[in-house]
A and B are shown apart, each in its own frame.
Chain A
Amino acid sequence: EAGVAQSPRYKIIEKRQSVAFWCNPISGHATLYWYQQILGQGPKLLIQFQNNGVVDDSQLPKDRFSAERLKGVDSTLKIQPAKLEDSAVYLCASSPPVYEQYFGPGTRLTVT
C-alpha cells in the first residue's frame, strides 16, 4: 500500500516570499491533517479536513496560512508571506475516521 506522499521534500525561501506544499493521502482515507513541527518540538496540528470540509483550523495562522482540499483527496498548504519563524517541517497525515494517523515524510522549510 502506498503511503502518504508529500512534495517538495525540501524548500528554502526568503522571508516575505510565498510557498506551497502538496500532499496526497493514502487512498480511501477521508481525513487529512497538516502539522507543523518546529525543531525540538512535537508536531502541532494546523488544520484537519474530513473529505473536503474543514473540521479544525483553530491553530492555523489564517493571516498567512491557507489550505484546501478541493476534491476531498489531494491537499495544498500555502504560506504567504513567509516569516523566519515558519521554518519547520510540515507534515501531512491521513487516516480513516477515528483510526491511526499515517504520516508522510514531510517538507522541510527553511526561511532565510
Chain B
Amino acid sequence: RKEVEQDPGPFNVPEGATVAFNCTYSNSASQSFFWYRQDCRKEPKLLMSVYSSGNEDGRFTAQLNRASQYISLLIRDSKLSDSATYLCVVSQGGSNYKLTFGKGTLLTVNP
C-alpha cells in the first residue's frame, strides 16, 4: 500500500463549481498534513496546512480524520486560476521533518 494515496483524477469542472479532493495515508504515526499546489512545469508551493479541527482559508477548506487516516480539500466557487495539480503531503514530524507526497490530482477549471 502506498504511503499517501490520492484520487487519480483528472478533474474537469466549470467555473464556480465546488470540487473535493480526497487523500488517505498509511502511517498512523504521521503528525503533520498539508496540501501543496503545483502549476504546470513549476515547483510545488504550500497551499495550506491541515489541522485536526479542520481549517479554512477563503474558498479552501481542509479537513483531517486521524481515525480514518483521511485528509480532504474542498474548493468552493472554483476559478480558472485554481487549475493546477493538488498534492497531498504527510510528515511524520520529528527532527527530520520528512515530507511524503501523493501523486497529485490534476484539476482543470473550464470557462
- A2 CB, nearest partner CB in chain B, Å: 15
A45 at the interface (CB under 8 A from B): yes
Q: How many A-B residue pairs have CB under 8 A?
A: 48
Q: Which of A40, A45, A103, A105 contacts B98 (CB 8 A)?
A: A45
Q: Are B43 and A103 in contact (CB under 8 A)?
A: yes
Number of B interface residues in the complex (CB < 8 A):
19
B76 at the interface (CB under 8 A from A): no
- A42 CA to B45 CA in the complex, in Å? 13
Given contacts A42-B101, A42-B102, A44-B101, contact A56 B43 (CB under 8 A): no
Q: Are A45 and B99 in contact (CB under 8 A)?
A: yes
Q: Are B103 and A91 in contact (CB under 8 A)?
A: no
Q: Are B43 and A106 in contact (CB under 8 A)?
A: yes
Q: Are A91 and B43 in contact (CB under 8 A)?
A: yes
- A97 CA to B94 CA in the complex, in Å? 10
- A50 CA to B93 CA in the complex, in Å? 15
Residues of A near B46 (CB, < 8 A) are 100-101
Q: Are B103 and A31 in contact (CB under 8 A)?
A: no
- A43 CA to B95 CA in the complex, in Å? 20
- A39 CA to B101 CA in the complex, in Å? 14
Residues of A near B99 (CB, < 8 A) are 33, 43, 45, 101
- The digit string for B83-107, where 1 denotes a CB below 8 A from any CB of A, is 0000101000101111111111000
B42 at the interface (CB under 8 A from A): yes
Q: Are B98 and A56 in contact (CB under 8 A)?
A: yes
B44 at the interface (CB under 8 A from A): yes
Q: Which residues of chain B (4-36) have a CB below 8 Å from chain A?
A: 4
Q: Which residues of chain A (39-97) have a CB below 8 Å from chain B?
A: 40-45, 48, 50, 55-56, 91, 95, 97
Q: Which of B43, B95, B98, B103 contacts A42 (CB 8 A)?
A: B103
- A106 CA to B102 CA in the complex, in Å? 18
Q: Which of B43, B44, B97 contacts A98 (CB 8 A)?
A: B97
